[in-house]
Amino acid sequence: MNHEPNLGGSFPLPGSSIILRRMGYGAMQLAGPQVFGPPRDEAAAVAVLQEAIASGVNHIDTSDYYGPHVTNQIIRRALHPYPDGLTIVTKLGARRGADKSWIPARGRQDLIDGVHDNLRNLGLDRLDVVNLRMGGMLEPMEGSVEEQVTVLAELKHQGLIRHLGLSNVTTAQVAEAQAITEIVCVQNLYNVARRADDGFISHLAAQGIAYVPFFPLGGFTPLQSSALDATAASLDATPMQVALAWLLQRSPNILLIPGTSSVAHFRENLGAAALSLPPHVIADLDAIGASGQATG
């Protein structure tokens, strides 16, 4: 590729040589229904991953508990040997039950096994970034992360992990983890309607730490808002493109990982990087979170 793709600019992870384009790709939807089992169309899943790389995306978010194992195996099948500059970010902290349930898996051996599962299924000798996921399904919960972060710091020292991040955590938990090892990114629930982390994002930006909102488009219940619809119509864009553009303009440390199993939808998501929202539109969208006028 002879030119820098328009993916919302780039952001360097602290203490590293990694520079991520701000529009990435989240691989969760490559697994089957309820993020369990194989996809209905594996060829389509492979095509989305290859389209992401061809479009200049250099940041893929995944986890070995997606499937479980399925998503990482598809990533390996589609992209291995991996192109230079591609950063694969994975998560630990859960496992899947046979009934498709999500079960916490944060004990010492759980984390060690999780790292080796990710290495094996991705076909890597070392993981670029590992996020420790804490809390409940959507929201953080108070509590110490010292035990878990210490285990991952040991695996980092052994050379199995390059960098560590946190997911579904509080400001206090980030500070506790930072006393043990460097944290390069935080992944929490945040979108134009769910704004609890406004101050947290600014706190992380001041430290040069990336903030990666999960469910940037509402997750399993897509965002719905008359303000989004009206703005999208005025800009000849889709509401979801506007929601992503708002995030890109919210703070320079925000990196996006919208997920899809469709090449057409993936291309539509990337179009958000070309949208420039004027100040009055930003103000209207800011009001969505303040008033609770969106669903999703």
- Give the catalytic positions in this structure: 66
How many CA atoms lie less than 13 Å away from 166 in the CB half-sphere? 29
Q: Name which of 26, 104, 35 is nearest 70 in CA terms.
A: 35
Q: What is the largest CA-CA distance in the chain?
A: 53
How many whole angstroms separate alpha carbon 213 and alpha carbon 195? Answer: 11
- Mark out the alpha helices in 55-122 (DSSP H runs): 70-79, 108-122
Parallel/antiparallel/unpaired status of strands 10-12 and 210-211: unpaired
Q: Report CA-CA distances (Å) from 245 to 46, 66, 156, 229, 252.
A: 26, 27, 34, 14, 12
- Mark out the alpha helices in 70-170 (DSSP H runs): 70-79, 108-122, 146-157
